[in-house]
Structure 1
């Protein structure tokens, strides 16, 4: 329950999108709809459209490739120092795949030289960027080139364009310059502990994608004093709220630990992550994953793993209604028992 509360799930707050992204040390954002649902689960009153608008305002939020080489939404004021931690590593890790796609050093450096002139003062889609780059880029070479330029600190994701197509902008125009932390890795570890604690250095390594040999000392250096930990623990032991949340796919609550057994019975793990890196939307009660759910054209379908969901029908109905409100579309609710 302490982890559940640290994630802002025990009781919703009147927070902005930037508040949530900052509190959680970033929101996984490769699935735009899922990222918006992560905000909904932790706030009151926001809608999907308002989250979309919040991500479109320069200087507030930025999306780029950070932890585990994955796209994340972070406060714009933090994006530069976070790129300094993950950008060089992600660029190096992607070198082999870029070579397979024909993205040699010459093409990458040509793109880096041309992108500032192409993107200055505007946000463009990948297709629009490719048309102006005048390079032979096909298939997966395009997103890998965007990730490369982001890892080099040149660009980031800005507003979502029509039909949620990604819009790319110059980082210097989108994110304010800010004084970086004295030790960015210690700062990252501190924020991780606030968002995911109690946790271990091994958990931090799994969440960040960084080697344990790199992060262990930083994690220890960032540990809060015993008195502060005790005070926060006392607060987090009383989560309040309904205790039931419908979390979207890839929710950060599931991504913060090396071992999920405290929140998910291993017998049900395959129902949440069947393979291919996909994490299904989940039903969580007081920190434990007790089901999964999906939206159809007409209803929100919950598949319960045990009797817990059936004993919380009122709370489930309230959550389903809030998902419908957030998305701006009416929906029914159906609950079945999983096999």
Structure 2
């Protein structure tokens, strides 16, 4: 049996960058829908950050392009796994909810008891949702909350959030078109009239294939972390695709990768080495994996997630590895961008960093001024 290919941490990082569509020579799609389909799901609890997570993979795109894909019903936001909001291809959402939703639902019972939420209240909320939205109607979350209150339901505290979460998790609601910068709620069955339907084995196989297509090299632990499924289910997801996968070795491995990747992608890619990217908070570059050591020095992890609570900062990525963070502050006539690199940025590298930040500014329609860490 031939020895599995072996890669350094930096080579693994280069391969992941190309799988994620973040290297200049590996753009995975030319459309918003295509980018989201490639990733299957992209973490999106911060709506503005999630728009750039998509746009950073579509050179020359604008925020309006992402919003238009939501308005056309190509992409939706929901809670397909782990109880966390993701951008998802509309047609894939129902089978993802069926596969991964039960584990998320099983984890909230005690929280509901503390909030005074019970099944009767949630099912009454479902009746209100259908009555309010049937026939293609739409409502903001505030409008839906008011309708629940008018129906005699107590929506104080976090009850309104949990009602929307539950009705989305169980396939009644979905966040679809955008009004004034935020989503409107619609009925899932009306907004997604022709969804894909997969049985459990088919769904696991589809999950394993598409996860590795967008994120390989990766491990069973990575997929379990990303989905919230058991490791047993994640092994089945990869085993269902065994004839197309290759085992590779490296720090933190062994890993699995689609065999075709090693024909399309270059572990010594000069395009990745030259790349400087300003990525969004919660980008799949980090959030797509349990172990991120090949792209983020563990010694710098708290600078990206200061509270160690999963609230990630926007990152600067140089040569496939996280090299710092950046933050934005709106001023009267411009947006101030402050760079927080892990190491000093040499003068020769600053034009590339500026270009990366200007790509975000063009996408977001912002005028920016950059404050370097050595600025007064």
TM range (shorter): over 0.9
**Of the candidates 161, 164, 168, which is equivalent to residue 185 of structure 2?**
168
| Contact 2:92–2:196 (8 Å) recurs in 1 | no
**Whole-angstrom CA distance in 2 between matches of 1:124 and 1:62:** 15
**Whole-angstrom CA distance in 1 between matches of 2:132 and 2:42:** 28
2:353 is aligned with 1:316: yes
- The equivalences for 1:2-151 within 5 A come to 2-11=15-24, 12=27, 15-58=30-73, 60-120=74-134, 121-133=136-148, 134=151, 135-151=153-169
Query: Corresponding residue for 2:11?
Result: none
**Unaligned stretches of 5+ in structure 2?**
1-13, 247-256
TM-aligned CA distance change 1:14 to 1:82, over 3 Å:
closer
**Whole-angstrom CA distance in 2 between matches of 1:144 and 1:186:** 31
**Of the candidates 317, 321, 329, which is equivalent to residue 288 of structure 1?**
321
In the superposition, the TM-score normalised over structure 1's length comes to 0.93
| Contact 1:87–1:150 (8 Å) recurs in 2 | no
In the superposition, the TM-score normalised over structure 2's length comes to 0.84
2:287 is aligned with 1:273: no
- The equivalences for 1:125-274 within 5 A come to 125-133=140-148, 134=151, 135-162=153-180, 164-182=181-199, 183-223=202-242, 225=244, 229-237=258-266, 238=269, 240=271, 242-274=274-306
Paired residue secondary structure (2:82): helix
Deviation track 1:57-101 (CA, whole Å, cap 9, x = no partner) reads: 23x111110222101111111111111112222222222212221
Paired residue secondary structure (1:291): strand
**Whole-angstrom CA distance in 1 between matches of 2:229 and 2:89:** 21
**Corresponding residue pairs, total:** 336
**Whole-angstrom CA distance in 2 between matches of 1:303 and 1:234:** 37
**Unaligned stretches of 5+ in structure 1?**
none
